[in-house]
Structure formats: structure tokens, C-alpha cells
């Protein structure tokens, strides 16, 4: 099962002890932090489907649990194949979103029978490609200078370039105002 990780940061100014001098706010700021682990559907390797998850209630619960009344909550994806966006949670729209995203960046022909694209990122047999990627592998515990470990790294590396592209399109963060302890979202958000 693949998982998406999100980090929440909440920055709040105290309404009791701040002042504005020359356009600068001086006062107390509080920061709260929490990490959500969100399981996604298990489509099996190679996973090419798109999982769309509604985290609104979990973010709202976090804000309420902090007891903070005014500020901003930032939701941030901690993975390069996940994105964050705010929209209406309606079944048909979610299906349209999945279809549209897969049209924008279809899965690689090497990972799905009716795939419609090929991506250089998915040329796993040619990676790591260069010193920078080699160093990232080493930094993450993969001694790719050892041929058997290099092969093990390649074997676990997913064919997922389309997921990286879609995450880039969606973006990695959303910031939501908080007022009176509630998320300030629009009626259908």
C-alpha cells in the first residue's frame, strides 16, 4: 500500500499581545505541527491509478484540537508524487478530476498495456544518471556503487514519472485562513 504524508503547520498571532509599529506586527506567534499519514488505495505494482483523498475533516479536527482561534493552517505534501489542492468533494467531479489528470499525464507504456506515453524518468535501467542522483541514492541508504544493491534499488524504483508531473501541476501546499477556530473555506470547498 502506498501512502501520502502531509505536514500541517499552524502559525497564529495572539490577539492579546501584539502591536503594529511602522507596518510591522510585533507580538506572540504560536506554531503547531502534526503529520498525517494517509493510506491510499492499493492498486498493486506498478500503481498507475490516481487516488484522491479528502483531508478536510482531519485538518479541521487538528485546528480545533490546537485551541487556536486565528491564523493560517498550511497543508504540505511531503512526497514528490502527491499534490494538494482545494476543490469541491463531489463524486462525479472527483471522477472527472482523475480522468482529466490521466489525460494530461498518462501512465507510461511500460507500466500499463494501453499507456500512451514514455518518460525518461522511467528508464530505470539507466539510473542513477549522474553524480547528483547517485549522491541522493547514497544519502538515502542505497549504496548504488555495489552492483547487487544497485539492482535492488532499480527493482524497487516505481515507473511513476506521470505521478511526479501531476504533483508538479497540483502543487505541494495549500494555506487556509483560520478564524474563530474554523477553516475559512468557501461553501463548496
From the list 158, 153, 156, 159, the residue with the least C-alpha distance to 136 is 153
Domains and CATH numbers, the chain: 3-127+161-183 (2.60.120.460)
Q: Are strands 3-21 and 24-39 parallel, antiparallel or unpaired?
A: antiparallel
pLDDT digits (tens, 9 = 90+) for 119-160: 999 999 999 999 999 999 999 999 999 999 999 999 988 888
pLDDT digits (tens, 9 = 90+) for 26-81: 666 677 888 888 776 655 455 567 888 899 999 999 999 988 888 889 998 888 88
- State the Cα–Cα distance between residues 128 and 151, nearest whole angstrom: 11
State residue 154's pLDDT score: 93
Q: Which of 25-34, 81-90, 101-110, 154-163 has the lowest mean pLDDT?
A: 25-34
CB 62 within 8 A of CB 73: yes
State residue 19's pLDDT score: 59
- State the Cα–Cα distance between residues 64 and 57, nearest whole angstrom: 10
Please name the helix (run of DSSP H) or strand (run of DSSP E) that holds residue 153, with its range, or none.
helix 147-156
More confident position, 33 or 162: 162
- State the Cα–Cα distance between residues 139 and 41, nearest whole angstrom: 29
pTM metric for this prediction: 0.78
E-assigned strand segments in 40-120 = 71-77
Amino acid at each position: 500500500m502506498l501512502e501520502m504524508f502531509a505536514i500541517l503547520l499552524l502559525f497564529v498571532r495572539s490577539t492579546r499581545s501584539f502591536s503594529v509599529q511602522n507596518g510591522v506586527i510585533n507580538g506572540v506567534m504560536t506554531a503547531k505541527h502534526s503529520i498525517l499519514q494517509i493510506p491510499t488505495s492499493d492498486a498493486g505494482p506498478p500503481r498507475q491509478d490516481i487516488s484522491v483523498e479528502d483531508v478536510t475533516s482531519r485538518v479541521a479536527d487538528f485546528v480545533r484540537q490546537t485551541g487556536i482561534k486565528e491564523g493560517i493552517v498550511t497543508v504540505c505534501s511531503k512526497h514528490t508524487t502527491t499534490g494538494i489542492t482545494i476543490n469541491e468533494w463531489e463524486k462525479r467531479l472527483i471522477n472527472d478530476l482523475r480522468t482529466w489528470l490521466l489525460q494530461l499525464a498518462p501512465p507510461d507504456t511500460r507500466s500499463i498495456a494501453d499507456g500512451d506515453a514514455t518518460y525518461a524518468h522511467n528508464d530505470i535501467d539507466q539510473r542513477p544518471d549522474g553524480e547528483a542522483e547517485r549522491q541522493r541514492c547514497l544519502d538515502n541508504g542505497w549504496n548504488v556503487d555495489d552492483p547487487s544493491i544497485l539492482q535492488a534499488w532499480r527493482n524497487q524504483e516505481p515507473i511513476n514519472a506521470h505521478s511526479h508531473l501531476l504533483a508538479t501541476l497540483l502543487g505541494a501546499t495549500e494555506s487556509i485562513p483560520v478564524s474563530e477556530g474554523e477553516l475559512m473555506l468557501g461553501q463548496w470547498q
